[in-house]
Structure 1
Amino acid sequence: MEQSTLVRRGLGLRGVDTQKVSPGYTLFAHLTSPGTVKLVDNHGQEVRRWDLPYRPGRHAQLLKNGNLAYNGVHPDAPRLFPLWQKYRGGVMMEVDPQGNVISEHRDPLAHHDQHHLDNGEYLYTTVEGIEPEKATSVLGGIPDSEAPDGKVYGDCIKHVSPSGELLWSWKAIDHLDPKIFALQPHYPREHWPLINSVYPLKDGNILASLRSVSAVIIVSRETGEVIWHLDSTVVAQQHCASELDNGDILIFDNGTFRHHESATYSRVIQVKRDDKSIAWQYKDPHPMTFFTPFMGGAQRLRNGNTLVTEAAFGRIFEVTEKGEIVWEYVNPDFADYTGLDAEEIEGYFDYKANALFRAYKYAPEEIPWLHPN
Structure 2
Amino acid sequence: MEQSTLICRGVGLRGVDPYQVSPGYTLFAHLTSPGTVKLIDNHGQEVHRWDLSYRPGRHAQIVRNGNLAYNGVHPDAPRLFPLWQKYRGGVMMELDPQGNVVSEHRDPLAHHDQHHLDNGELLYTTVERLELEKGDSVLGGIPHSEAPDGKVYADCIKHVSSSGELLWSWKAIDHLDPKKFALQPHYPREHWPLINSLYSLKDGNILASLRSVSAVIIISRETGEILWHLDSTVVAQQHCASEMEDGSILIFDNGTFRHHESATYSRVIQVSREDKRIVWEYKDPHPMTFFTPLMGGAQRLRGGNTLITEAAFGRIFEVTQEGELVWEYIVPDFAAYKGLDAKEIEGYFPYPANALFRAYKYAPEQIPWLHPN
Shorter-chain TM band: over 0.9
- Hey, what does 1:244 align to over in structure 2? 244
Identity %: 86
Q: Give the match's secondary structure for 2:71.
A: strand
Cα deviation digits, residues 12-47 of structure 1 (max 9, x gap): 000000000000000000000000000000000000
Aligned AA for 2:221? R
- Hey, what does 2:279 align to over in structure 1? 279
- Hey, what does 2:38 align to over in structure 1? 38
- Aligned-partner Cα distance in 1 for 2:371–2:120: 25
Q: Alpha-carbon deviation of 1:360?
A: 0.1
- Aligned-partner Cα distance in 2 for 1:316–1:221: 33
- Please list, as runs of the form range in 1=range in 2, the aligned pairs for 1:199-348 lying within 5 A after superposition: 199-348=199-348
- Hey, what does 2:131 align to over in structure 1? 131
- Please list, as runs of the form range in 1=range in 2, the aligned pairs for 1:11-30 lying within 5 A after superposition: 11-30=11-30
Q: Structure 1, unaligned stretches of length 5 or more? A: none
Q: Give the match's secondary structure for 2:137.
A: coil
- Aligned-partner Cα distance in 2 for 1:12–1:111: 29
- Aligned-partner Cα distance in 2 for 1:308–1:346: 27
Q: Alpha-carbon deviation of 1:201?
A: 0.2
Q: Alpha-carbon deviation of 1:162?
A: 1.1
- Aligned-partner Cα distance in 2 for 1:322–1:119: 35
- Aligned-partner Cα distance in 2 for 1:47–1:121: 28
Q: Give the match's secondary structure for 1:141.
A: coil
Q: Alpha-carbon deviation of 1:119?
A: 1.1
- Hey, what does 1:165 align to over in structure 2? 165
- Hey, what does 2:71 align to over in structure 1? 71
Q: Alpha-carbon deviation of 1:243?
A: 0.3
- Hey, what does 2:140 align to over in structure 1? 140
- Aligned-partner Cα distance in 2 for 1:166–1:101: 21
1:367 is aligned to 2:347: no
Q: Alpha-carbon deviation of 1:349?
A: 0.2
Cα deviation digits, residues 134-184 of structure 1 (max 9, x gap): 111100000000000111000000001111111100000000000000001
Cα deviation digits, residues 279-299 of structure 1 (max 9, x gap): 000000000000000100000
Aligned AA for 2:363? A
Runs of 4+ with >6 A deviation: none
Q: Give the match's secondary structure for 2:70.
A: strand
Aligned AA for 1:275? D
- Aligned-partner Cα distance in 2 for 1:347–1:134: 31
Aligned AA for 1:323? G
- Hey, what does 1:92 align to over in structure 2? 92
- Aligned-partner Cα distance in 1 for 2:329–2:121: 32
- Aligned-partner Cα distance in 2 for 1:118–1:21: 26
Superposed CA RMSD in Å reads 0.4
- Aligned-partner Cα distance in 1 for 2:167–2:331: 38
- Aligned-partner Cα distance in 1 for 2:162–2:80: 27
Q: Alpha-carbon deviation of 1:118?
A: 1.1
Cα deviation digits, residues 203-233 of structure 1 (max 9, x gap): 0000000000000000000000000000000
Q: Alpha-carbon deviation of 1:131?
A: 1.5
- Aligned-partner Cα distance in 2 for 1:325–1:351: 29
Aligned AA for 1:97? P
TM-score by length of 2: 1.00
- Hey, what does 2:58 align to over in structure 1? 58
- Hey, what does 2:149 align to over in structure 1? 149
- Aligned-partner Cα distance in 2 for 1:115–1:188: 26
Q: Alpha-carbon deviation of 1:92?
A: 0.2
- Aligned-partner Cα distance in 2 for 1:197–1:138: 21
- Aligned-partner Cα distance in 2 for 1:192–1:211: 9
Q: Give the match's secondary structure for 2:174.
A: helix
Aligned AA for 2:180? I
- Hey, what does 1:5 align to over in structure 2? 5
- Please list, as runs of the form range in 1=range in 2, the aligned pairs for 1:345-360 lying within 5 A after superposition: 345-360=345-360
Aligned AA for 2:300? R
Q: Give the match's secondary structure for 1:134.
A: helix
Aligned AA for 1:337? Y
- Please list, as runs of the form range in 1=range in 2, the aligned pairs for 1:98-137 lying within 5 A after superposition: 98-137=98-137
